Chain A
Amino acid sequence: MIQFHNITKRYPGGYEALNNVSLNLQAGEMAFLTGHSGAGKSTLLKIISLIEKPTRGQAILNQINLNNLPNSRIPYIRRNIGFIFQDHQLLFDRTVFDNVALPLIIQGYHHTEIARRTRAALDKVGLLHKEKSLPITLSGGEQQRVGIARAVVHKPMLLLADEPTGNLDPVLSREIMQIFIDFHQVGVTVLVASHDLSLIEELQKPVVTLNRGKIIHNDLEPVDV
């Protein structure tokens, strides 16, 4: 699903966020990405979601080389990814339902299909009864669950989460992680960046640890050459 071949990302000014990183996450796998803040976790996720381009090396997403992709194709690649942000990034001027429906609207689904899938996604995260609420009226954990519903509503094959439990208490964090495990069990590839080490240990999934832009621990299969 995701293959990184010797990826280096250097920002203007010389700061090196990733240094010669190679990684192989296979389809249907679930893994955690850990490391201190500034270790390069976010940069790695940004390269997969095409927000950043690597300075050197090759990034491949489901056999598509992300390096020389024309900008016009980027939206269509992103539609296969569900992205969950630390601060959930909900749009506060519209209802929970409209937030979750957005990926489907973007992709041009019929409105009956939109309603069906949106309700199914909200049901999955246990927030169907809040569909008409505004995000501002929800608790932090509920907002994050709306963010997850939005990320999975269009049934992406890959789920990327950047510190999804960063602002939540341990009980809520465990709930959120359980939702990811549920998706993994139905065949979705999941990559979660987190520094909640005790929780990660509990879940017994492969872990990739970054330190100052280098991989120092990797439970995944090595990259096939």
Chain B
Amino acid sequence: MSDNTHQHRPNALSRFTAWLMHHLQSLVFSLGKAYRSPSATLMTVAVIAITLTLPSGFYLLLKNIQTISGDLRSSTQISLFLDMKLSLENALQFNTQLQQRPDIATTQFISRTQALTEFKQSSGFGKSLDHVKDNPLPHTIIVSPASQLDTLAIKTLLSKLESLAEVDIAKLDTEWLEKLFTIVEIAKRSVIIISLLFSFAVLLIIGNTIRLDIQNRYQEIVVTKLIGATNAFIRRPFLYSGVWYGLFGGLLSWLIIELSILVLSGPFDSLNLLYQSQFTIISFSFSDFLIIICCSTLLGLAGSWLAVARHLNEIEPK
């Protein structure tokens, strides 16, 4: 009767198949249990989904801000207002010189006549400017620095360009960009903190749900243990319950955010129209989606594991 020499024991292959079957059974059984009490399940899933929606929503907001600010950074430009005394030929020649510099990606030349025409069109002063005899605007070159330049190198470029004789004023407005990047960095860390806190909340919610489930089936657990079930065997259906809660919670939170984006995209489009900008709301990428689902499922598993481990230990011999 020793515990490893029983003549009626099933062989290893049979035990493995049985183990696999029990996993499958627990998977289906826990899903069935969730299905049989739809209101309770739905409430738990909704709480988990809402809890997950906050960090993932913040993450998406941050992602959008980063994209916008990234666009702004890559659009950093230096405006060179050339000396008023420079002729058109000299100015064009200077433009060609600039284009050959390695620290400059592209330039855009705007002649004074061109500048005046544009100004007339966009400023709304229109005809009243026809009375101005002398064009007060200089030739302008808009310089886009080479993309590998960082903020400091751009500033060096700026002072180099300003010192050139042809240039009257060189202008670069980056201070507000710096501020924006700092704010984005703060937001990024806040999102991490919020995500950790809310993940912990999900862990507790699932742990508590599983704990109630264990209490309801306490007698069954005791009996199953007495007839020789291992802890792993008893744990399995509860762990799958946790996995389902996490999975459905994650899916629902993803759905909530996608719907929110749909609701927000209308006003956002009108805003784009007003500001003549082309920003669009970025939704979750497929990998973001996978990360959210994986994280919520893992949280479900971890939450139920904690609850089950704690309560199974209470039934050990004393």
Contact = CB atoms under 8 A, between A and B. Distances in A.
Interface stretch (B17-25, B51-59, B132-140, B297-305): B17-25
A108 to B, nearest CB: 3
Given A62-B2, A89-B223, A74 B18 contact: no
B220 A91 contact: yes
B80 to A, nearest CB: 78
Contacts of A110: 10, 14, 17-18
A79 B219 CA distance: 19
A178 B102 CA distance: 102
B10 A109 contact: yes
Contact of A108 (B1, B19, B222, B224): B19
A104 to B, nearest CB: 9
A63 B2 CA distance: 8
Contact of B226 (A62, A64, A78, A80): A78
B1 A157 contact: yes
A76 to B, nearest CB: 4
B230 interface: yes
Interface string B1-20: 11110101110001111110
Contacts of A64: 2-3
B228 A79 contact: yes
A74 B223 CA distance: 14
Contacts of A53: 317-318
B229 interface: yes
Contacts of A176: none
B316 interface: yes
Contacts of B222: 89
B8 to A, nearest CB: 6
A150 interface: yes
Interface residues of A, number: 39
B43 interface: no
B1 A158 contact: yes
B227 interface: yes
Given A49-B226, A78-B227, A105-B18, A1 B1 contact: yes
B120 interface: no
Interface string A98-110: 0000110111111
B15 A108 contact: yes
Given A79-B3, A105-B18, A110-B17, 17 more contacts: A51-B226, A71-B317, A75-B229, A75-B230, A76-B4, A77-B3, A78-B226, A79-B228, A83-B226, A89-B219, A89-B223, A103-B227, A106-B229, A107-B9, A107-B18, A109-B14, A150-B227
23 contacts: A51-B226, A52-B317, A63-B2, A64-B2, A71-B316, A74-B316, A75-B229, A77-B3, A78-B225, A79-B3, A80-B1, A80-B3, A89-B219, A89-B222, A91-B220, A91-B223, A106-B224, A106-B228, A108-B15, A113-B14, A150-B227, A151-B227, A157-B1
Interface of B: 1-4, 6, 8-10, 14-19, 21-22, 219-220, 222-231, 233, 316-318
Interface of A: 1, 27, 49-53, 62-64, 71-80, 83, 89, 91, 102-103, 105-111, 113, 150-151, 154-155, 157-158
Nearest first, the 9 closest Cβ-Cβ pairs linking A and B are A108-B18, A79-B228, A108-B15, A157-B1, A76-B3, A78-B228, A62-B1, A75-B230, A106-B229
